Structure formats: structure tokens, C-alpha cells
Amino acid sequence: MPDSYIKRILNARIYDLAVETPLDETRLLSQRTGNKVLLKREDLQPVFSFKLRGAYNKLLQLSPEERERGVICASAGNHAQGVALGSQHLGIKATIVMPRTTPQIKVDAVKARGAKVVLHGDSYDEASAHAKKLVEEKGLTYVHPFDDPDVIAGQGTIGLEILRQYHGKIDAIFVAVGGGGLCAGIASYVKFVRPDVKIIAVESDQSACLKAALEKKKRVVLPHVGIFADGIAVAQIGEETFRVLRKTVDDVITVSDDEICAGIKDIFEDTRSIAEPAGAVSVAGIKKYVAEHKLSGQTFVAIACGANMNFDRLRYISERTEIGEQREAILAVTIPERPGAYKEFCKALGKRNITEFNYRYADNREAKIFVGIQVSSGGQDRQELVAELKQQGYAVVDMTDNELAKLHIRHMVGGHAPNVGDEVVYRFEFPERPGALYTFLNRVAGHWNISMFHYRNHGAASGRVFVGMQVPKAERSQVKKFLSELGYPFWDETGNEAYKFFLG
């Protein structure tokens, strides 16, 4: 029960290292949503993440013997930095096992704190298994990133601060969930002191392990976890955190990568700070919750839980933000292949701003264009635009929600290949690290002729590949079996409109 954590939270003596972070009102986001949105600035901790609270509180509870033996943890970065800084402060030797997909900025930050870094596996779960193996071999004390009462209590000090800092009515607190330690800590304190305040858990739709557990009424292991929001990319909710959350969370919502990107922009516009994807999940959750429930005049708190991100990921985030805010429509349009056709199409758009325009000559009758157009947020304007263009006689396909179009086709518009037969196309994701593309090609090449290939490194934790292969129909079942054995997530895009429209 939540009350079992109250004493632990009140006794967490973490403030000789962690800081009490401000609770700032967002001017622009509040105006945009029609609600008062307060931002709990955990990105201002010494390690730019809330994780310092729980890690340090755990280290403070260790016996002299445990401190002497040293500690170990597995982490994608933020918990690692918390353990490293806390250990350095207390004079404890720390070993940190990190997935090879961890952003370099986090790896460097951990090393700078004096901890030994071991890179292992492509996900948190693989790193965690290796860390536990080292515990057995070397007798180290394992500091769990979320499923530990002392860690949960450390994170719970955020809930204590929020209620101390804001005395007015709070309708809901939105908290990002990966393993659940942050949400369990905050919920334990808030639900005991102010049970009227709703706790809304927000997950990436690529790693919604709490939502899956609540639906099944038991913890489950997700078969695949997307790692764009690497700070919350966890396949299974913690055992102790699930025990707490199933009794204290009022609702769980999921947000897409595009919505997270839009949340990063929202935080930047109000604070001039750049949140990491996991750090903006709560803001994305507020926007989605407000839109779905048509709320106004309420007070919401979002936990800006981290700001550790490789700078080059901003390329991808910036590209996807307008779509996440529903301010850009991605359309495939057929126009006549004749002089003046472009001018007529632009005139049909009125005063709308064109954000992207891709075209290559295909034949003398019709031109296929890939076009991005600025629209107002909400989706209604986009629908009206498509209807207007169709009314004026244009053949239009809305590809705003087409992942293949957004990731690959927009960079590939260049005409069809008439002499390529038996083509099937697939989209892949693989862990992004040095040599990863070569490894992927080495495993795929040599089986069937590759007729098309697109890969773009955009600084994210996963590499995205779009590949065409010439496969006779009699061998199609072999392809799927072979691809399944590769171990990479993949999608058959042979029937995708974007592919057929521009490249098929």
C-alpha cells in the first residue's frame, strides 16, 4: 500500500547531493491547451535527470560491508549517472553495464564520474542480465534502476516537493513510465496525502509494459520494445512497482514517437531547454489527454524527467515534430504532366505554406508529387485540405500517418524501375552502433537480389532500413522465415500505398 512508503520518503536524506527542482508554470503550453500546465524541472538535477534521487537514496542505505565490496547497475544512461555520481560522492567503486545502443553523451557522462563502464547487449534487459551475472561472479551489490523500495522512495521525494511547492488544486500529475519507479514513488506519496489528485501514467506506444500488465492483470514481457525513448524502453514493468501502481494509477495513456517529438518542442519553447524523448513523454501525455477529454481550466503537472540526449538526434526530432503536432500534412498527389501544372497546384493550395516538394519525371501524362503542407493543429484542417484538393480534381492520398512515407519515401522519390520483377519490400529496425549497417547487410545479402535500398542515420538509437528484393513467388514463404530468424523487427511494405505510388 502507498502508506508503507511515506516514512521511507520522508526519511530520504538526499539533499546533500540531489536538489529540490523548481515547479514552473508554462506560459505557451498553458495557453495552447487551455489549462494551467506546471513543469517539474528534473532536468535541472546535477545529472540532468530525476534518477539521482533514487540511486543516491539506495546507496545511503548500504552497510559499510556492501559499500566496501562496490556496487553495480544496468542502465541506458540516467540511472547510471545517478549511481556514478552518488558512488563518487560516497567513495564507493561503481561498475555500470550499459546497452551498446546508449547515446554517447550518457556513456561519457558516466565515465566522467569515475565509474567503470561495461557495454553489453542492445537493450536494457540484456544489460541487466549481464550485470546480475557479474553480481554473482564478483559479489557486488546490485542497485536496481526501479524495482527497489529505497529507489522508489528516493523518486517519491518529487511528489513531496510538488505538494509542498503548489498549494492550489492539482487535477492530475502526468508521469512517464518505463520500469515504473518514478511513477510508483510519486503516486505513493501523493495518493496518501492528496488522494483527490489523479496520477496519469504515460508510456511510449513502443514500450507500454504497464498498460499491457494492467490489461492482463499480471506482469507481461513485451515481445518488442522500441528504443526511441530509450529512458523508458523497458519490456516488463517491475514487480514491486506494479504492486504499487495497480492500486494508485488512475489512467494509463500511450503516445507516439511523433507526439513525443512535439512535446520536446513544447518544453523548448517554454524553457529553452531540450528534453530527451523520455523527458517529454509526460507533456505529450497532457496534450493527448486534454484533446481526448476536451478539458479546460484544469491544473496539470508534467514531470520533465530528463535531458540527456545526443545532439545529432535533433535532426530526426525536428523532422517529426510538425507531424507530431499535426501541423504538417504529407500528401501524395497526381497532377498533369504539362507546363503550368505546378503553378496551378500551388494556386489550389491558397496561402498555405509548402514545407516539402519532391518530384521526378515518370511519363508524359501524369506527375506524381510528394508534398508537405503546413496545416493548423488538430487534424480537421488537414482533412479539409484533402477534401478541397479532391474537389478541384486532384487525386490525393493522405500519407501523414504512413511510417514508410515519413521515414524513407520522402528521401527516395525518383521514379519507378520498370525492369524490376518479383519485387517485395520490407522495412527494418536494427540497433544503431558502429558497424551495425555492415552486420545487417552481411546477414541479408547473398540470398536474393537487392533491387532497392535506403538507410539514413538520423542519430536515433535504432537504424531504419528500407530494402527491396527480387523474390520469386514460390520463395516468398522462405523470405519471411529467413527474416524472422534475423532477429530484427520488420514490416512487409509491399502493399504500402507510398511504395506503390512512387517506387513500385
Residue-wise pLDDT for 177-216, tens only, equals 999 999 999 999 999 999 999 999 999 998 999 999 999 9
DSSP 226: -
- Residue 301 above 90 pLDDT? yes
Please give the Cα distance from 31 to 29 (Å, whole number). Answer: 5
pLDDT tens across 338-367, in order?
777 777 887 888 778 777 777 766 677 887
Q: CA-to-CA distance for 5 and 351, rounded, in angstroms? A: 58
Model confidence at 233, pLDDT cuts 50, 70, 90, reads confident
CA atoms of 86 and 113, how far apart (whole Å): 9
pLDDT of residue 221: 94
In sequence order, which residues have a C-beta less than 8 Å from that of residue 12 and are 6 or more positions away? 53, 57, 153, 154, 156, 157
What is the pLDDT at residue 456?
Answer: 65
Which pLDDT value is given to residue 439? Answer: 67
User: Is pLDDT at 316 greater than 90 in this prediction?
Assistant: no
pLDDT of the residue at 430:
74
DSSP 352: P
Give yes or no for residue 435 having a pLDDT over 70: no
pLDDT tens for 23-79 read 999 999 999 999 999 999 999 999 999 999 999 999 999 999 999 999 999 987 789
Q: Which three cell numbers stand for residue 345?
A: 497546384
pLDDT at 362: 66
Q: How far apart are CA 80 and CA 115, in angstroms?
A: 9
Contacts of 418 (CB under 8 A, 6+ apart): none
Question: What are 238's three cell numbers?
Answer: 517491475
Q: What is the pLDDT of residues 357-393, one digit of tens each?
A: 777 666 778 878 888 888 876 668 888 888 989 999 9
Residue 262 and residue 324 in contact, taking contact as beta carbons nearer than 8 Å: yes
Is residue 174 within 8 A of residue 289, CB to CB? The reply is: yes
Which domains does the chain possess? 2-44+149-322 (3.40.50.1100), 51-142 (3.40.50.1100), 326-401 (3.40.1020.10), 415-502 (3.30.70.260)
157: Cβ contacts below 8 Å, ≥ 6 apart: 9, 12, 14, 18, 53, 57, 185
| Integer Cα distance of 172 and 176 in angstroms | 13
- The stretch 256-271 carries a mean pLDDT of 94
Tell me the C-alpha distance between 444 and 370, whole Å.
Answer: 30
Judge whether 406 and 382 are in contact, CB under 8 Å.
no
- Model pLDDT for residues 436-493, shown as the tens digit of each residue: 666 667 777 677 877 777 776 655 556 778 888 888 888 888 888 888 887 778 899 9
Q: Which helix (H) or strand (E) holds 59?
A: helix 51-60
Asked if the model's pLDDT at residue 232 lies above 80, the reply is: yes
DSSP state of 239: H
Determine the average pLDDT of the residues in 289-316.
92
Residue 481's CB: how many other CB atoms inside 10 A? Answer: 9
Burial class (CB in 10 A: 0-12, 13-18, 19+), 291: middle
Secondary structure class of 413 (helix, strand, coil): coil
